[in-house]
């Protein structure tokens, strides 16, 4: 049995309870034994390990519900172990893996393999998302019920939209029977085919094949119509445009069971950041206009968008160091998620407690997880962070096997001092 642990003199921010103030947390046997709204208790036992936070920020461990790894099948990109190490270094204590591996996670055997590998690594909590259709091909429904029983938290075809409306309706109806949310990328496949950037003056000047912003809105209109028809819980996977936000708001106003996510990349960058064909900024969905970026930030601030993800998608150098329209899309983000998020607090755009909610309590509640909160009896998944410490991102020093970070060279504030999972320290620089 591990020794009891006391974290004293912290600034505790717990969005689940709405508390932001001085506090202390006592950990015993992997769970939070007590939470005090004062700097510390009196009379700790002699065997208690004490951490004096010195006023540092103490928050629930981050819950990142959209993470890609290369394992199984593409281990040179990222292994489960390297992804877990990157997560721990970034304060992410729970991550949900995308199913587009090789083989695809479309049956219980592959799900079981991933869960066993994660248990063997013993770093952070790992859950799989199952494929909505066989092979993520959008044609035949996958074994949703069996994957749900095996441990999948939701189903999705990852980056591939399900074009056939009848197939998506079947997926929604079947998943609803198990209470399993369906996540879907809103992107019209015909308008977005072959695109490397967002349509506009910048893409035209760069000579890049592009996709109009309306492609996102068109698909979301269809998706929400099917959600209204089936009543199934639905996750909008990375909403990025102002037009789609209008559609989302109308759906929520009608009471549809919809939760929207966006990525930290689309909050932090716009299409101009592509610069001189900078392939680290080639993403899927592509970076949008500055007006779209500001609309997404406002949607997070208002609560219209409830969950922020890293959209961690590793790609090795040989897949990125190509002409822009040939380079693989995606960016690593587990390690930079928290400091990039805190930029909006330092800029005064979004209150700190609301930012933390979008990566802790909100995704945990969405997927029915017990984490994401600092409360008595909750898992002791915690992050201690120096809110004001300067951080200069050096992609070469990131823990991930792939180094494709659009934040390379960017100056941020917010350094992870310690990450705990079930009361165990899994990261301390």
Task: Give the residue extent of every domain in the chain.
Answer: 5-58+379-390+410-427, 61-366
Average the pLDDT over 266-282 and give the result: 96
Q: How confident is the model at residue 1 (pLDDT cuts 50, 70, 90)?
A: low
220: left (phi over 0), alpha (psi -120 to 50) or beta: alpha
* Average pLDDT over all residues of the chain: 96
| pLDDT above 60 (res 338) | yes
103-129 pLDDT, tens digit per residue, is 999 999 999 999 999 999 999 999 999
Strands (E), 119-263: 125-128, 130-131, 155-156, 182-184, 197-198, 210-211, 234-236, 258-263
Listed as own residue / partner, the contacts of 318-321 with beta carbons closer than 8 Å and 24 or more positions apart are 320/279, 320/280, 320/282, 320/404, 321/279
Q: Residue 89, SS3?
A: helix
Q: Residue 195, SS3?
A: coil
Which class would CATH give 5-58+379-390+410-427? mainly beta
415-429 pLDDT, tens digit per residue, is 999 999 999 999 998
Q: Is 42 or 30 the better-scoring residue by pLDDT?
A: 30
Burial 71-89 (b: 16+ CB within 10 A, else e): bbebeebbbbbbbbbbbbb
Average the pLDDT over 5-20 and give the result: 97
* Per-residue pLDDT at 28: 94
Average the pLDDT over 137-153 and give the result: 96
Average the pLDDT over 299-316 and give the result: 98
Decide if 5-58+379-390+410-427 and 61-366 have a common fold: no
| pLDDT above 60 (res 245) | yes
Residues β-bridged to residue 24: 36
What's the burial of 44, exposed, middle or buried (CB within 10 Å: 0-12/13-18/19+)? middle
Q: 395 near 405, Cβ under 8 Å?
A: yes
Q: How far apart are CA 223 and CA 248, in angstroms?
A: 10
Average the pLDDT over 220-224 and give the result: 98
Q: Per CATH, which fold does 61-366 belong to?
A: TIM Barrel (3.20.20)
| pLDDT above 70 (res 291) | yes
Burial 330-355 (b: 16+ CB within 10 A, else e): bbbbbbbbbbbbbbbbeeeebebbbb
Alpha helices, DSSP H only, in 178-241? 189-192, 201-206, 214-230
CB atoms under 10 Å from CB of 230, counted, come to 20
35-89 pLDDT, tens digit per residue, is 999 988 867 888 899 999 999 999 999 999 999 999 999 999 999 999 999 999 9
CB atoms under 10 Å from CB of 409, counted, come to 10
Angle CA 167–168–173, to nearest 5 = 100
Q: How far apart are CA 62 and CA 134, in angstroms?
A: 30
* Per-residue pLDDT at 2: 76
């Amino acid at each position: 049995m591990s020794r009891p642990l006391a974290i004293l003199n912290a600034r505790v921010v717990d969005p689940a309870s709405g508390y932001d103030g001085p506090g202390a947390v006592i950990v015993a046997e992997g769970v939070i034994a007590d939470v005090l709204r004062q700097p510390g208790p009196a009379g700790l036992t002699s065997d208690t390990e004490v951490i004096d936070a010195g006023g540092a920020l103490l928050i629930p461990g981050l819950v990142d519900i959209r993470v890609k790894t290369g394992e199984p099948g593409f281990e040179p990109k990222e292994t489960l172990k390297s992804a877990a190490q990157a997560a721990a270094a970034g304060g992410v204590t729970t991550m949900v893996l995308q199913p587009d591996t090789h083989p695809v996670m479309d049956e219980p055997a592959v799900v079981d393999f991933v869960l066993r590998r994660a248990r063997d690594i013993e770093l952070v909590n790992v859950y799989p998302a199952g494929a909505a259709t066989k092979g993520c091909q959008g044609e035949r429904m996958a074994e949703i019920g069996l994957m749900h029983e095996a441990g999948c938290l939701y189903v999705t075809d990852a980056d591939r939209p399900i074009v056939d409306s009848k197939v998506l309706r079947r997926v929604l109806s079947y998943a609803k029977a198990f209470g399993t949310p369906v996540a879907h990328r809103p992107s019209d496949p015909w308008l977005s085919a072959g695109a490397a950037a967002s349509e506009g003056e910048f893409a035209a000047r760069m000579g890049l094949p592009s996709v109009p912003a309306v492609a996102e809105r068109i698909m979301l209109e269809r998706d929400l119509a099917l959600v209204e028809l089936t009543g199934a819980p639905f996750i909008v996977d990375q909403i990025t445009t102002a037009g789609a936000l209008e559609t989302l708001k109308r759906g929520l106003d009608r009471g549809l069971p919809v939760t929207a996510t966006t990525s930290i990349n689309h909050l932090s960058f716009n299409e101009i950041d592509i610069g001189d064909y900078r392939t680290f900024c080639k993403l899927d969905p592509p970076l949008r206009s500055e007006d779209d970026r500001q609309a997404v930030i406002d949607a997070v601030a208002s609560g219209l968008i409830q969950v922020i993800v890293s959209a961690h998608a590793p790609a090795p150098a040989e897949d990125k160091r190509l002409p822009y329209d040939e380079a693989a899309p995606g960016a690593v983000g587990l390690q930079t998620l928290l400091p990039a998020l805190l930029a909006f607090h330092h800029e005064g755009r979004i209150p700190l407690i609301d930012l933390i909610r979008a990566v802790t309590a909100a995704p945990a509640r969405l997927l029915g997880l017990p984490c994401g909160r600092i409360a008595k009896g909750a898992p002791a998944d915690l992050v201690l962070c120096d809110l004001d410490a300067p951080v200069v991102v050096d992609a070469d020093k990131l823990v991930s096997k792939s180094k494709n970070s659009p934040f390379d060279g960017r100056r941020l504030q917010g350094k992870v001092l310690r990450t705990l999972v079930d009361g165990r320290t899994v990261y301390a620089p």
